Structure 1
């Protein structure tokens, strides 16, 4: 059985916007009371509904040719065509664990061979390239996601549970989310920033596809869905997409130079592990290795130290450290509280560096 690539989000860490309510879409105009006015209002509403439906149909017809199915030996996912040369952006977790892929266009049943250009696991993004692209590829248009607003209608397009060329609708529920996705056998745990929260359904196989506005421009890449850790089921209507600005910036670097040259993410320059006390409670991050000449090394942090807070925020695990770093910027100076091997405590100031692609 083919496995559909998808990820679940385990923690929502920050938000630039927190309005989650879905607003009603008003289609009719104001009118005075009376039978004739009621008829006029109904006619206006019907016209508005027809226009909205027509808009949906046009957007799907316009964008779907730019959304592809990516198939691995035992899994599948989605991707977005970037250019006529065959470059396709998708999630890293869709293509992780392989370097050769089969790509199917939504406009044809023919499959094309593709190879990995490079990936950025820390941001869950990757670019693959068709080895022999057809001449009629249709690149997607990308929106300025910084202008995305809560309540904006969006459509999620991709291949959920293997159902090719599917679309669902919803709204943007929030912007600026930071979410932590879990580690898997092929991918590291990562804290993703500037995420768009949406009520449009995102299912396994949607990952790497397109979240588009009603102008037909991509505002995000569907990546995660929220899951109730207690019940083990997905939360309907709570999905997350990597913003188009982030996706394009990373993809353009990979296409231009073969790698990510400027992640835009802050780094402390350590390799660490989560520590627990005698009661199995997390107590901090043990420093295993320090990057020579990096932020931690320059601040006097050495292997064997235990980091207990960053920027005055308690740090009890590697996930907590990554989540806090996601809220900070390269070159920012922050206090770091540490415990030395002899039990003494101190606070040093570190100038954060830029996270390098692994």
Structure 2
């Protein structure tokens, strides 16, 4: 099923931020018409094969992205019937790494004990209302990584309160927000010296079926953990910047969030957004952010978990967090094309892809020789079967990255090397 971000008439509508009961902040300026794979019109075309319309299913940017993936892979062979913890992490003072004694049956009790001290509950209050979500301790200086939709409405006129796992509560201020990736960093005011930053993992090492655990604050129940499996990787998820008003009415602002997400089967409920998705070692692999939703009940209440949730990979989250801490803003990679969904012949088969309808002069795409009519079907070997998938793939990269686009031009495949630039700031 496909769904345009602006279309709320489908069976699976655009969702709302589950952490928020606040009206949205004023809409951000629209992005430039020639972005990293922007679409000239919201109407989506049918595609051959598995068009990942999930993002397109309309992920609910939920402050409840309870994610639980599962990781077997590089846990190693079983050497002991039990699990033990180790503190030999890359970051001194960070959460301990769990060494699983049995990779096929992770000791989630040990993982929970290692991770929960690094996950916090976040409460936001403005004149319009209040809301709650989750976050992770990013460093010893008191920086907390969370979703923009958890704290964004507090910019300029709200109060943020952070409660640690042990019950201590601190005020916090916004360091920086990045609506286009739905990430934000806040900082504790006069935070304690004994914070436990979460240990960062490798989201690129994940495999479908790997085990993992989600930790967060669903429905105000802090320290809640859930487990599940990684259902899919590189899932292009497209959502609007939506929030739930105090009266239960969905409202959507102009910023579109596009994520090359980790999909999970773990339970997702209001309040989990911004929380941790960790592997069986207790390492952060994603920031829970959204769910697919079947819509609202007849009473107008929000729908909950249906077993399809999404998390922002830690590689992207760390890159944005580092930039926000350094300068309060984040730069994004830029290709410089407008694309649309299409289906193209690939030999004797048909294939979905992103067809280039405009190339802006002086951009990386133009410099690389990308032409109108080219159909982009892969980026660095990762399949691209929609305009949204192209945006998601480019957005998780950084300016200066060298990548290879596989395109079909005049019926033949060819690889085009491209060096991405910094996305220009919108002028309108």
- Indicate whether the TM-score tops 0.5: yes
Which protein has the bigger helix share? 1
Secondary structure at the residue paired with 2:180? helix
Aligned to 2:19: 5
Structure 1 residues 297 and 139: alpha-carbon distance in aligned structure 2, compared to 1, 3 A threshold: same
Secondary structure at the residue paired with 2:307? strand
Aligned to 2:78: none
Q: Does 1:124 align with 2:178?
A: no
Bigger RCO (CA 8 Å, 6+ sep)? 2
What is the CA-CA distance between 1:327 and the residue it aligns to?
3.9
Residues 185, 321 of structure 2: 8 Å contact kept: yes
What is the CA-CA distance between 1:178 and the residue it aligns to?
1.3
Q: Does 1:93 align with 2:155?
A: no
Alignment of 1:88-237 (within 5 A): 88-99=144-155, 100-108=159-167, 110-184=168-242, 185=252, 188-193=255-260, 195-228=261-294, 233=303, 236-237=306-307
Question: Which whole-Å CA distance do the structure 2 matches of 1:241 and 1:357 have between them?
Answer: 26
Structure 1 residues 187 and 84: alpha-carbon distance in aligned structure 2, compared to 1, 3 A threshold: farther
Residues 265, 308 of structure 2: 8 Å contact kept: yes
Secondary structure at the residue paired with 2:113? helix
Residues 6, 203 of structure 1: 8 Å contact kept: no
What is the CA-CA distance between 1:257 and the residue it aligns to?
3.1
What is the CA-CA distance between 1:225 and the residue it aligns to?
0.7
What is the CA-CA distance between 1:354 and the residue it aligns to?
3.3
Q: Which runs of 5+ in 1 are unaligned?
A: 14-21, 26-43, 273-283, 300-307, 314-319, 336-349
Deviations 1:127-161 (A, max 9, x none): 11112101211100011111111111111100012
Q: Hey, which bits of structure 1, 4+ residues long, moved more than 2 A?
A: 48-54, 182-187, 228-235, 256-259, 265-270, 284-287, 290-299, 308-313, 320-335, 350-358
Aligned to 2:9: none
What is the CA-CA distance between 1:234 and the residue it aligns to?
5.2
Aligned residues, how many?
284
Aligned to 1:245: 315
RMSD (Å), alpha carbons: 4.4
Question: Which whole-Å CA distance do the structure 2 matches of 1:167 and 1:239 have between them?
Answer: 15
* TM norm structure 2: 0.55
Question: Which whole-Å CA distance do the structure 1 matches of 2:264 and 2:254 have between them?
Answer: 24
Secondary structure at the residue paired with 1:236? coil
Question: Which whole-Å CA distance do the structure 2 matches of 1:56 and 1:357 have between them?
Answer: 44
What is the CA-CA distance between 1:125 and the residue it aligns to?
0.8
Residues 240, 253 of structure 2: 8 Å contact kept: no
| Structure ID, larger Rg | 1
Q: Does 1:82 align with 2:142?
A: no
Moved more, 227-236 or 250-259: 227-236
Residues 12, 177 of structure 1: 8 Å contact kept: no
Deviations 1:64-120 (A, max 9, x none): 010001111111110000111100111111111113411010111x32111111111
Structure 1 residues 310 and 356: alpha-carbon distance in aligned structure 2, compared to 1, 3 A threshold: farther
Question: Which whole-Å CA distance do the structure 2 matches of 1:151 and 1:294 have between them?
Answer: 39
Of residues 47, 57, 72 in structure 1, which corresponds to 2:124?
Answer: 72
What is the CA-CA distance between 1:182 and the residue it aligns to?
2.2
What is the CA-CA distance between 1:230 and the residue it aligns to?
10
